[in-house]
Chains A and B, each alone.
Chain A
Amino acid sequence: MTEHSVHDHYDHEGSKLGMWLFIFTELLFFGGLFIVYAVMRYKNGTAFALAGKELDVFIGTFNTIILLISSATIAMSISSIQMKKKNLTVILLGITLVLAVVFLVNKYFEWGAKIEHGLFPGSETLHQFGHGETLFFGLYYFMTGLHALHIIIGIILITIIMVKVHKGKIHEDRFVQLENTGLYWHLVDIIWIFLFPLFYLIA
């Protein structure tokens, strides 16, 4: 133990454990919504299948693949910082950021098209469709919206981490913040992995 380490509160394992505990609260949070979805679908199976037809499977698939690639690039950035390749880490984080923004832009156009067709909570069109469809789109907007909020938070986190790597504050001996941001981003990915079949593939 050196003089230095006495004042240094860096604890890789502890930080990571804390992040995992946070991820568990997120899993239970979304888990609750998935259970609401399951019950509603059980009670309104036909309406959910019909409403699901309104969603664009192509955009959904495209966005799924984008998120999967971004998950791989942020995972690679952790390997690259361990290999002391600072510039490569910044580039990989940059690619992750661009993919995250592309995902959001797609989501914007997707939501925009739905709203244009009168498919939004409280709309006249949805009112005519009936109870089941209203529930489906209510859940669709709430769950994908909440997911999009997580993407926005992720974009902010990744940007901060990218700057810190660039400035050398995150390096091969001290990268738990990068690792935790990666964990968060994978969580966002996992949630989408389940949202995708439940909303886009049930038609």
Chain B
Amino acid sequence: MADGKTGRGEKSTKIFGDYLVMLIAPCVISVWYYGAAALRTLIVCLLTSLICDFAVSVIINKQYYAADLSALCSGIIIALMLSANVPAYVGVVACVFAVAVAKIPFGGGMRAPFVPAAAGFAFTAVCFGKEVFTYSSGRAFMKTVSLGASLMSGSTLRINASNLIDMLTGNIYGPMGTTCIIAMLGCVVFLLIRRRYSLLPGAGFIAACFIVSLIFPRSGGSVISCAVTELFSGSLIFAAVFMLTNPATMPSNAANKVVYGVFTGIVCMVMRHMGAFEEPVCFAVLIANAFSPLLDLLTDRVRIIFSRKKQREVTENG
């Protein structure tokens, strides 16, 4: 029962297998834009996650699930959120934290209360902020500053046909695998076919971010262009597709999923406005993860209260 063919292993393989399929596109695009540097970061993160997963399982005498692909997914997600030329130890620390602290102690990828990749990236951002948020220019058109940094500095951004295409294709200065919006839309279509309900938190998240950035724009110029830039900057859409859809941390009820996404979006935008980091989406995801079980609990309580009221009404009328 404990192998990858049955029970938990099968479920984990199925879900994280889907993620791996979706992650192929951003991986290919990051290698296309940043070449060997991106490949090196991907391999370092991938190997660290796998070795750490195996080593910690052996150390704590837990059976190692060879087909549990969650560690693999966490490694790739972390790599794609980093800069292509980030020092190798940054990726190693992020992956070790994600697997050894945020995943295995809680019983694996299907039970972790916090998204392991978000925890790993957040820890690395705290420890090596300069390295994490100093991006490689690659073939990007904006070779000096990322969209997130320019929004943070409040500089005016005007979207035209040329830079909109660059933004959609990910040809901008930023994390190596999260900026290609077209690839993210492809992943959304894949999720729509495979697991449509898991898109609800992401939809709520993006809607909340968009509305908040319309109400409180961070840069000059048109409000719409500021809101669109806000969505395309950093790892916002990437997080909506790969972190908020994590089955272990999502609330079970559809309405709660949307609330969870909206809450994450609001927290993320508050942190973007007031926080110290250029890309605080991982911190927002972690905060929302902590409240996710409470949402289900609250819904259950409300359901119980309503059912009792109904019962009372029935007995009073009857």
Chains A and B come from one and the same complex: no
